[in-house]
Structures are given as C-alpha cells and as structure tokens.
Amino acid sequence: MARHLKIAAAQLGPLHREDSRAVAVSRLTKLLRDAHAMGAKFVVFPELALTTFFPRWWIESQAEVDARYFEKSMPSKDTQPLFDEAKKLGIGFYIGYAELTPEGRRFNTAILVGPDGSIVGKYRKIHLPGHADHKPKAAFQHLEKNYFEVGDLGFRVWRYLNTITGMLICNDRRWPEAFRVLALQGAEIVALGFNTPSENLHYPEPPALRVHHHLIMAQSMAFQNAVWLVETAKAGFEDGFRMFGHSLIVAPTGEIAAKSQSEEDEVICANCDIDLAANLKKTMFNFAAHRRPEHYRLIVERVGAEVTPAN
Ligand code: ING
C-alpha cells in the first residue's frame, strides 16, 4: 500500500517594511487553516516568511536590522500563535526566517515543525546569492552575503510524517549538488521556500526567462533525484519591488502536480504518493548501480571553473 501525504505550499503575497510580525503571523495562520480545510498534513511556507525581503535594502545600523528583521527565539511570543494553531490542527510545517543566535550569529534559516509543535530539524541556507557591498547605483540591493553567514548545519534529512524529508532555501535550487547530497541521504521530500525578484539586479533579463529557469530547475531537480519537491514563494510587490509566485509541487517524475496562479496569499495542495519514486530509485536513478564518484572529484575539489583541456 503506497504511502500518501497531503502536502500544501502556502504562498505568501507581499510583506512590506511596515508590516508587523503580527500581520505576517495572522496571514500565515489563515493559510494554515485554508490548507487544513484542503486536508493537508504538511504545509511549506516561504523563505523569510515573517518579514519583507529586507536584503533588498542597505541598512547601516546592525541594531536596526536585528531589531526589525531577525528572530531571537523560535517560537517567540509573536510566532507562538502559529505553532499553537498548527498543533491544534495536527499539521506539520516548514517555515523560513532570519535567525539571530544567542552567540550573535545570523543565518537565513528554515525549520521543520512536527504536528505536535516540536521543532524536528533546522537548516541554515548555504548558497547565499547577491553581494556584500552597498551598490548605491543599483535599482535594489541583494545583500544576503552581508546580512547572513553561510549555513553551518550542512544539507540534512529527517524522519518526518512517515517520510524522509530534507530542506533547502531559495538560491539552493540553482545548485544540483544541494539536491544530490539530500538524495544520497534518502530524501523523499524536499521543502524549499523562496523569495525571487522578478527583475535581475545585474542586467535586463526578461522576467519570463527567470520564471522559465525556476520551472525547469524544479522539474529537473525533482526528477534527477526522484524526490517530491515543494517550492513556496513569497511574491508580489513589496514596497514596489516585485517577486514572482509560481509556487510548485513537483512529483519525482518531474511533472508539476500543482502550481500557484497568483502573487498573493494562496494555498496549493497535492495528495503526494511518497512511493511514486520507488521504481525510479530502483532503475533509472539507482545511485548505487550507476553513479561513478571516482570521476566526479572536480565537483568537490574545484570551486570556480578553470580551463583545463585534455589537449
Ligand atoms: N533569491 C534569488 C534566487 O536565487 C537570485 C536570488 C535570483 C539569484 C536570480 C540569481 C538569479 O532565486 C534568493 N533569495 O536566493
């Protein structure tokens, strides 16, 4: 009998600089109830789901950044209502937030919360895009390298809701190695929240092309690693800066099982057959039978590309 898990991607529309935690939490809680009404048992919220995407702003004062955008504890009095509602409904969830540790370290973090409200696992974003310096001439900043440290917890999976579930965040979806490390640990589900600007910071890239990239990456990463991939956007115009939606639930076959239609608060849901990947993992993507790591050494040893031709 194949295992099924009803999974929802709970997409958030814009959060503006002035929006309080309470506003964010009340919208997240409503999305949780909507997902529950659809029968979902696992809900994936976006990256940095409690605040606006603040890395688009250069903020001189670290104290201001910490006070306005980082969580000193999780849950806190502001976020406890979300944990309480999830426990009452018996729903597990993934949520992304900016983490300030007691030691004063800062990460772009995501957690897996069980249906009993306990924190099962934590992931700290490893692929930080953008830049660390202020670019005053740019239309907007992308300062994740300035505000966050590279994650120090690695790419891990957890036993979760009778599945093996791993976590990633946003830019990680552009790096095949991240998915492969999870798949090599037996991942059956990958949960990934994202905030992706519709405009490119560096050159005039057609917005439709950015969405095309998002869609082909999700389908190929899910298929090549035979995992269910749930990617949830925070979207819409945040203080005038647009981010795209296209939240997705992608099957291990690479087919899109559900996709959001708006750039607002929106829940999409799919009844995922967790054993759908069984045949793929036994044949086409039977890693043990087909992979040849002895020929992959450059992937680990070399960081940037270097021209080293055989002739
Ligand atoms: N956002 C974007 C992302 O990787 C980005 C940043 C967009 C980088 C397009 C490169 C190209 O989807 C986050 N938050 O990583």
The tokens of 260 are what?
């959001």
* 249 vs 230: CA distance, rounded Å: 5
* 245 vs 260: CA distance, rounded Å: 7
pLDDT given for residue 202 in this prediction:
82
Please say whether the beta carbons of 98 and 42 come within 8 A. no
List residues with catalytic annotation: 47, 125, 170
pLDDT given for residue 204 in this prediction:
87
* 183 vs 190: CA distance, rounded Å: 9
Chain mean pLDDT for the chain: 97
Under DSSP, the state recorded for 203 is S
Beta strands in 34-169 (DSSP E): 42-44, 92-100, 106-113, 119-124, 157-160, 163-169
* 4 vs 282: CA distance, rounded Å: 19
Please say whether the beta carbons of 121 and 107 come within 8 A. no
Q: Which atom of ligand 1 is nearest to the CA of 200?
A: 9
Per-residue pLDDT tens digits for 257-292: 999 999 999 999 999 999 999 999 999 999 999 999
Between the CA of 148 and the centroid of ligand 1 the distance, in Å, is 15
Phi, psi of 82, rounded to the nearest 5 degrees: -70, -45
High-pLDDT (> 70) share of the chain, %: 100
Between the CA of 56 and the centroid of ligand 1 the distance, in Å, is 11
Between the CA of 39 and the centroid of ligand 1 the distance, in Å, is 31
For ligand 1, say whether the CB of 174 is within 6 Å of any of its atoms. yes
Residue nearest (by alpha carbon) to ligand 1 atom 11: 200
- Which of 174, 232, 246 is the pocket-test mutation for ligand 1 (most atoms within 8 Å of CB)? 174
* 89 vs 96: CA distance, rounded Å: 20
Other CB atoms within a 10 A radius of the CB of residue 37 amount to 11
The torsion region of residue 51 among left (phi > 0), alpha (psi -120 to 50) and beta comes to beta
Report if pTM > 0.75.
Answer: yes
pLDDT given for residue 200 in this prediction:
87
pLDDT given for residue 201 in this prediction:
81
Per-residue pLDDT tens digits for 63-72: 999 999 999 9
Per-residue pLDDT tens digits for 190-215: 999 999 999 988 888 898 999 999 99
Please say whether the beta carbons of 266 and 46 come within 8 A. no
The tokens of 103 are what?
């030691």
For ligand 1, say whether the CB of 194 is within 6 Å of any of its atoms. yes
Q: Which atom of ligand 1 is nearest to the CA of 195?
A: 14
Q: Render the burial of 182-193: b for 16+ CB within 10 Å, e for the rest.
A: bbeeebbbbbbb
pLDDT level of residue 180 (50, 70, 90 thresholds) = very high
pLDDT given for residue 122 in this prediction:
99
Residue nearest (by alpha carbon) to ligand 1 atom 15: 171
Distance of CA 271 to the CA centre of its chain: 20
All structural domains of the chain with their residue ranges: 4-301
Per-residue pLDDT tens digits for 70-86: 999 999 999 999 999 99
Average pLDDT over residues 91-119: 98
The class level of CATH for 4-301 reads alpha beta
Q: Which atom of ligand 1 is nearest to the CA of 128?
A: 15
Between the CA of 237 and the centroid of ligand 1 the distance, in Å, is 16
pLDDT given for residue 203 in this prediction:
86
pLDDT at 1 over 90: no
